[in-house]
């Protein structure tokens, strides 16, 4: 059985021959599915040169059916006549299509699969309509983005109605479920069983280190963070905050500059640092070096995978109660939620965690339990069971063999990603 996956995350071929992906979350996702198939073919944009360190795909049965590189729909659609023949050749190579959406190439691969009689399933990971108000475009570019959002929303609805559909978190699941058609809720994750830490408390050092991991763009709400630091310092707390993640396009670069400008204006430039992108292999152990994790994201997320990464690292979480986040985090159980990402609300939640060791330790313990319930091994097994049962496809070894592979992976965590 050959699985084809279409998505927009760019890859490149490293000098050692490995396939490497920019952020790492998608590479790990691909590795988690690889044991169930004879071959996985990725239809993704191909970079001509490396972009940072990247994360390698470790499964030996993963190959490429590359598309010319594009950063988004504004680069994809003008090159559609070049894309379509490649997408059709890709679909001809595979037995089963998997579309991760939203992504501009998915609807064309999906149409090709139906034309050629291929079975398909989709995973919905984001909500373009929800992020529309925070998109920084103006004029003609804004009108184009609005058109694309409406077009992509219709495409996702069409694909979800005509195939087995999964969605990342409860909010996306509710949105895309309908009468007679139930979307299966799942979690996108990057953590393996071996990534879960053992520490039972944080905040022992005089300076409390706060971490945020996020792409830098206006839709992520990061501009509030300098003011959060300022309010904590004014409240008598010795804190610093690091932001790990890439600036996305020109809006992301402008957002990073504004965050830095505000930090300087508020006098906390020595306490707030933008680290930039980091390979997943280096990022996952990094969570264990921090005392607290803050994510002030805006609507449009599914369930951000960084929340599970923080929980796996034993880092207490403060996040906004938007989109699919409340389906993962229960307030005061495995994290703290704020209704809106204001500086006051975030600073108050952080301060509460710093002073309340009992709450902090309780959140850490519950975070570990949540992380264990949503590892790559567990989520891949759940998804593949549904794929096998609902689509009537025979996976490599079948669900019973998948159970034994999953048990082996839990005993030997690296086996699931090698």
Residues 285, 410, single domain; the answer is: no
Question: pLDDT (tens digit, 9 = 90+) per residue, 187-211?
Answer: 999 999 999 999 999 999 999 999 9
pLDDT at 417: 27
Residues contacting 46, CB < 8 A, separation 6+: 10, 11, 12, 13, 64, 66, 67, 68, 69
Q: Does pLDDT of 105 surpass 50?
A: yes
Instruction: Give 94 or 416, the one with higher predicted confidence.
Output: 94
Residue 388 three-state SS: helix
More confident of the two residues 279 and 294: 294
SS3 291: coil
Residue with tokens 């993640």: 245
In 3D, which of 245, 316, 310, 230 has the Cα closest to residue 278?
Answer: 245
**Contact criterion met (CB below 8 Å) for 76 and 105:** yes
Q: Are the CB atoms for 19 and 57 separated by under 8 Å? A: yes
Question: Does residue 162 surpass a pLDDT of 90?
Answer: yes
398: pLDDT strictly greater than 50: no
Range of the domain at 117: 2-192+375-417
pTM of the model: 0.86
Question: Both 133 and 231 in a single domain?
Answer: no
Residue 135, pLDDT above cutoff 80: no
The answer to whether the bond into 102 is cis (omega within 30° of 0) is yes
Banded model confidence at residue 87, pLDDT cuts 50, 70, 90:
very high
User: Where is pLDDT greater, at 79 or 179?
Assistant: 79
- Give the model confidence (pLDDT) of 15-73 as tens digits: 999 999 988 899 999 999 999 999 999 999 999 898 888 899 999 999 999 999 998 89
Q: Taking a C-beta distance cutoff of 8 angstroms, is the pair 44, 69 a contact?
A: no
Tokens for 219, please give them.
């839709």
Residues 201 and 308 in one domain: yes
Task: Return the pLDDT at 403.
Answer: 45
- Give start and end residues of each alpha helix (H) in 186-320: 225-234, 249-265, 280-286, 305-312
- Could you tell me if 81 and 126 lie in one domain? yes
Mean pLDDT, all residues of the chain: 91
416: exposed, middle or buried (Cβ count in 10 Å: 0-12, 13-18, 19+):
buried
What average pLDDT score do residues 108-118 get?
97
Mean pLDDT of 162-180: 92
Is residue 364 within 8 A of residue 287, CB to CB? The reply is no
Percent helix, strand, coil in the chain, to 5, is 50, 20, 35
**Tokens 């103006």 found at:** 138
Which of 218, 246, 224 lies closest to 131, judged by CA?
A: 218
Give the C-alpha separation, 19 to 372, whole Å: 28
Same domain assignment for residues 66 and 29: yes
Claim to verify: residue 125 and residue 274 sit in the same structural domain: no
The backbone torsions φ and ψ at residue 55, rounded to the nearest 5 degrees and listed phi first, read -125, 130
Neighbour-count burial for 246-277, b at 16+ CB within 10 Å, e otherwise: bbbbebbeebbeebeebbeebebeebbebeeb
Same domain, 364 and 410: no
Query: Residue 240: pLDDT above 50?
Result: yes
pLDDT given for residue 44 in this prediction: 97
Look at residue 401 and tell me whether its pLDDT is greater than 60: no
Q: For residue range 332-371, what is the model confidence (pLDDT) as tens digits?
A: 999 999 999 999 999 999 999 999 999 999 999 999 999 9
Res 405: pLDDT:
41
Taking a C-beta distance cutoff of 8 angstroms, is the pair 58, 28 a contact? no
* Whether residues 227 and 360 fall in one domain: yes
Q: Which two tokens stand for residue 328?
A: 């993962």
Q: Give me the sheet containing 2-6, strands edge to edge.
A: 62-64, 39-43, 2-6, 96-101, 119-124, 164-168, 184-186
pLDDT of the residue at 209? 98
Q: Which of 71-80, 306-315, 383-392 has the lowest mean pLDDT?
A: 71-80
Confidence band of 300 (pLDDT split at 50, 70, 90)? confident
Same domain, 258 and 233: yes
Four-point Cα dihedral 355, 358, 362, 365, nearest 10:
90
Choose one of 341, 358, 373: the last residue of a domain: 373
Measured distance CA(281)–CA(73) in Å, rounded: 29
Q: Is the pLDDT of residue 408 over 50?
A: no
Q: Alpha-carbon dihedral of residues 25, 26, 32, 37, nearest 10 degrees?
A: -170
Three-state secondary structure call for residue 138: coil
Partners of 63 in beta bridges: 41
Task: Looking at the structure, tell me whether residues 51 and 125 fall in a common domain.
Answer: yes
What's the domain count of the chain? 2
- Whether residue 397 is predicted with pLDDT greater than 70 in this model: the reply is no
Task: Verify that 128 and 260 share a domain, yes or no.
Answer: no
Asked if residue 412 has pLDDT above 50, the reply is no
Q: Is the pLDDT of residue 418 over 80?
A: no
Residue 54 is given by DSSP the state -
pLDDT tens digits, residue range 367-390?
999 999 999 999 999 999 999 999
Least confident of 131-135, 203-207, 279-283: 131-135
The per-residue pLDDT for 390 is 94
CATH of the domain at 413: 3.40.50.2000
Whether residue 143 is found in the same domain as residue 225: no
What does the alpha-carbon distance between residue 114 and residue 109 come to, in Å, rounded to a whole number? 9
Phi first, then psi: give them for residue 346, nearest 5 degrees: -70, -45
Q: How confident is the model over 146-153, as a mean pLDDT?
A: 94
């Amino acid at each position: 059985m050959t699985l084809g996956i279409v998505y927009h995350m760019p890859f490149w071929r490293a000098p050692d021959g490995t396939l490497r992906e920019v952020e790492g979350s998608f590479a790990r996702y691909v590795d988690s599915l690889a044991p169930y198939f004879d071959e996985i073919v990725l239809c993704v944009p191909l970079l001509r040169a490396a972009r940072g360190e990247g994360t390698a795909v470790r499964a030996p049965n993963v190959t490429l059916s590359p598309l010319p590189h594009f950063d988004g729909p504004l680069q994809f659609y003008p090159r559609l006549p070049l894309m379509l023949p490649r997408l059709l050749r890709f679909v001809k190579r595979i037995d089963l299509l998997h579309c991760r959406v939203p992504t501009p190439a998915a609807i064309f691969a999906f149409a090709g699969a139906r034309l050629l009689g291929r079975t398909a399933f989709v995973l919905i990971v984001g909500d373009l309509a929800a992020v529309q108000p925070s998109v920084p475009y103006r004029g003609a570019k804004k009108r184009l983005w609005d058109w694309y959002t409406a077009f992509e929303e219709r495409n996702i609805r069409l694909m979800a109605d005509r195939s087995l559909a999964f969605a990342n978190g409860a909010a996306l699941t509710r949105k895309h479920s309908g009468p007679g058609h139930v979307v299966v809720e799942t979690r996108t994750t990057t953590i393996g069983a071996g990534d879960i830490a053992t520490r039972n408390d944080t905040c022992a050092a005089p300076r409390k280190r706060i971490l945020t991991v996020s792409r830098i763009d206006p839709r992520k709400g990061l501009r509030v963070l300098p003011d959060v630091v300022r309010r904590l310092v004014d409240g008598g707390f010795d804190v610093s905050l690091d932001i790990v993640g890439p600036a996305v396009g020109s809006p992301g670069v402008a957002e990073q500059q504004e965050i830095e400008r505000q930090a300087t204006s508020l006098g906390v430039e020595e306490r707030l640092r933008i680290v930039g992108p980091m390979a997943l292999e280096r990022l996952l152990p990094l969570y264990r070096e921090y005392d607290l994790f803050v994510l002030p994201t805006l609507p449009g997320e599914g369930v951000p995978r960084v929340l599970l990464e923080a929980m796996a690292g034993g880092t207490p979480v403060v996040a906004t109660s938007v989109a699919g986040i409340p389906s993962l985090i229960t307030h005061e159980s495995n994290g703290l939620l704020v209704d809106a990402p204001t500086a006051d609300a975030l600073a108050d939640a952080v301060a509460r965690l710093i002073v309340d060791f009992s709450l902090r330790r309780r959140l850490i313990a519950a975070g570990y339990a949540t992380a264990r319930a949503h590892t790559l091994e567990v989520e891949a097994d759940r998804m593949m069971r549904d794929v096998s049962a609902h689509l009537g496809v025979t996976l490599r070894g079948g669900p019973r063999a998948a159970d034994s592979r999953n048990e082996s992976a839990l005993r030997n965590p690296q086996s699931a990603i090698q």
